[in-house]
Amino acid sequence: MFQAQKRTKVFVALSGGVDSAVAAYLLKRHGYDVHGVFMKNWTGTHANLAGECQWTRERDDAQAVAHKLGLPFQVWNFERAYRHYVVDDFFKEYARGRTPNPDIRCNQYVKIPLFLKRALREGADFIATGHYAIKSKIKNQKSKLSQYTLLSGVDPLKDQSYFLYTFTQHQLKHLLFPVGEMTKVQVRRLAKKIRLPVAHKPDSQGICFIGEVKVVDFLRTRLQEKSGDIVDRQGKILGQHKGLAFYTLGQREGLGLAQGPWYVIGRKWRQNKLIVGSLREQRYLMAKQCSVAKLKWVSGEPPSLPVNLLVRHRYRHPVFAARLSRRGRKFVINFQKPQRAITPGQSAVFYRRSRQGLEVVGGGVIEQVEKRGFLW
């Protein structure tokens, strides 16, 4: 599938992990002129930002992979753009009481567009990543021109298509996903077989630029605490919170309450109160409708609305049948069945089933949620 012609040049984003390492190996095995690049996006050393990630370790691991495979290796610095588009936005969104997805922002503004632009300038035909997703080329029935589709990876536990819905046709034209048709087990097995230095390295957890620091501790480096009451639905005070911006819908951990489990089900901003519910009150986390903004379409052309689609409103969440329509200036998603903890700031990604598999149609950022009892 990835057989190269005439020494096609490809720049691989080597993250220091096993997925991108195997991606580089597969491309070289199939005849590509492979160049390894480590993207220096975040060092955690800027003013007031705790939680320095182990970027030097990741860089060294990426370099070790390149050395093992005999690849030219470079480090490209995108930290300024990453700080502006990803990290600063992360704080702004939490300050507004929203829960952003920095991985999507990184792919949309840094990892793909800036990396691709520089790679093309340096003579690349393609760039490649270790994402678990699949690109396919088809003919548009209307225009009769070729276009690219984005499909879920074959491993349902590792599929990363959710993070890639902002990709354009130009970007997909120059993108390769060598491990998209493999499972994680197969990737690990191959890495061990060829003795890659990262074969046994565990997968990264959490948000990349925070490292091992908890999200709430990282947020405190910029957002001030503003304590208030934690209450149940009847208004009974159960404890104290440290600031509404530090909590997200459906959250269970970090509440410090006895006789649980308790779940965050709502907020009262004016009264600075956090509302929690018991396990029996999960219905207050359910919603059938939300509005979305900043819509992106993989084909470059929006479908005629209203349209029935499959929607995933959180990473690793199953897709559910829904209807996307327009209401005035708003775009509204109506799910056939109530969904748990639909959260503003996260993305709703649209899919449809095709002959090729589960295809990404597009997506948007969740703006408002209409749920039973409480607004979020």
pLDDT in tens, 21-34: 999 999 999 999 99
Do 187 and 276 fall within a single domain? no
- Using pLDDT thresholds of 50, 70 and 90, give the confidence band for residue 206: low
Which of 283, 300, 330 is a domain's end point? Answer: 283
Task: Report the alpha-carbon distance of residue 140 to residue 373 in Å, rounded.
Answer: 45
When mean pLDDT is compared across 22-36, 202-216, 351-365, the lowest value belongs to 202-216
- Cβ burial of 19 (10 Å; 0-12, 13-18, 19+) is buried
> CATH number, domain at 242?
2.30.30.280
Q: Look over the chain and give the mean of its residue pLDDT values, rounded to a whole number.
A: 91
Task: Report the alpha-carbon distance of residue 138 to residue 132 in Å, rounded.
Answer: 20
| Strands 357-371 and 347-354, bridge-based pairing | antiparallel
Do 241 and 314 fall within a single domain? no
Tell me the range of 1-5, 210-214, 270-274 where mean pLDDT is highest.
270-274
Size of the chain, expressed as the number of residues it contains: 376
Q: What is the mean pLDDT of residues 197-218?
A: 78
Rounded to two decimals, what is the model's pTM?
Answer: 0.92
Q: What is the mean pLDDT of residues 165-183?
A: 97
Question: Does some domain include residue 364?
Answer: yes
> CATH number, domain at 341?
2.40.30.10
Do 263 and 135 fall within a single domain? no
103 pLDDT above the threshold of 70: yes
Q: What is the mean pLDDT of residues 142-169?
A: 92
Do 297 and 261 fall within a single domain? no
Do 251 and 302 fall within a single domain? no
53 pLDDT above the threshold of 80: no
Contact 344, 369 (CB under 8 A): yes
Do 298 and 314 fall within a single domain? yes
Do 17 and 156 fall within a single domain? yes
Do 89 and 148 fall within a single domain? yes
When mean pLDDT is compared across 80-89, 142-151, 183-192, 352-361, the lowest value belongs to 142-151
Which of 193, 214, 248 is a domain's end point? Answer: 193
Q: What is the pLDDT of residue 5?
A: 57
DSSP result, 34-76: EEEEEEE---S-STT------HHHHHHHHHHHHHHHT--EEEE
When mean pLDDT is compared across 7-16, 43-52, 116-125, the lowest value belongs to 43-52
Question: Does some domain include residue 202?
Answer: no
Please write the tens of the pLDDT for every residue from 255-264.
999 988 999 9
Do 13 and 85 fall within a single domain? yes
Do 297 and 174 fall within a single domain? no
- Using pLDDT thresholds of 50, 70 and 90, give the confidence band for residue 54: confident
Q: What is the pLDDT of residue 142?
A: 67
Do 122 and 179 fall within a single domain? yes
141 pLDDT above the threshold of 90: no
Do 257 and 156 fall within a single domain? no
Residues assigned a catalytic role: 106, 208
Task: Report the alpha-carbon distance of residue 151 to residue 95 in Å, rounded.
Answer: 34
Residue written as token pair 């208004």: 235
Contacts of 328 (CB under 8 A, 6+ apart): none
Contacts of 143 (CB under 8 A, 6+ apart): none
Question: Does some domain include residue 198?
Answer: no
Please write the tens of the pLDDT for every residue from 184-197.
999 999 999 999 99
Q: Write out the residue range of the structural domain in which residue 314 sits.
A: 286-371
> DSSP assignment, residue 303?
P
Which of 174, 193, 212 is a domain's end point? Answer: 193
Q: What is the pLDDT of residue 100?
A: 94
When mean pLDDT is compared across 66-75, 139-148, 234-243, 299-308, the lowest value belongs to 139-148
- Using pLDDT thresholds of 50, 70 and 90, give the confidence band for residue 218: confident
Task: Report the alpha-carbon distance of residue 298 to residue 353 in Å, rounded.
Answer: 15
Residue 266's nearest CA partner among 301, 238, 231 is: 231
51 pLDDT above the threshold of 60: no
313 pLDDT above the threshold of 80: yes
Query: Percent of the chain scored above 90 by pLDDT?
Result: 82
Better pLDDT: 42 or 313: 313
376 pLDDT above the threshold of 90: no
Residue written as token pair 């890495």: 191
Question: Does some domain include residue 199?
Answer: no
Task: Report the alpha-carbon distance of residue 110 to residue 199 in Å, rounded.
Answer: 27
Contact 369, 296 (CB under 8 A): no
Q: How many helices (H) and strands (E) does the chain have?
A: 9, 17
- Using pLDDT thresholds of 50, 70 and 90, give the confidence band for residue 217: confident
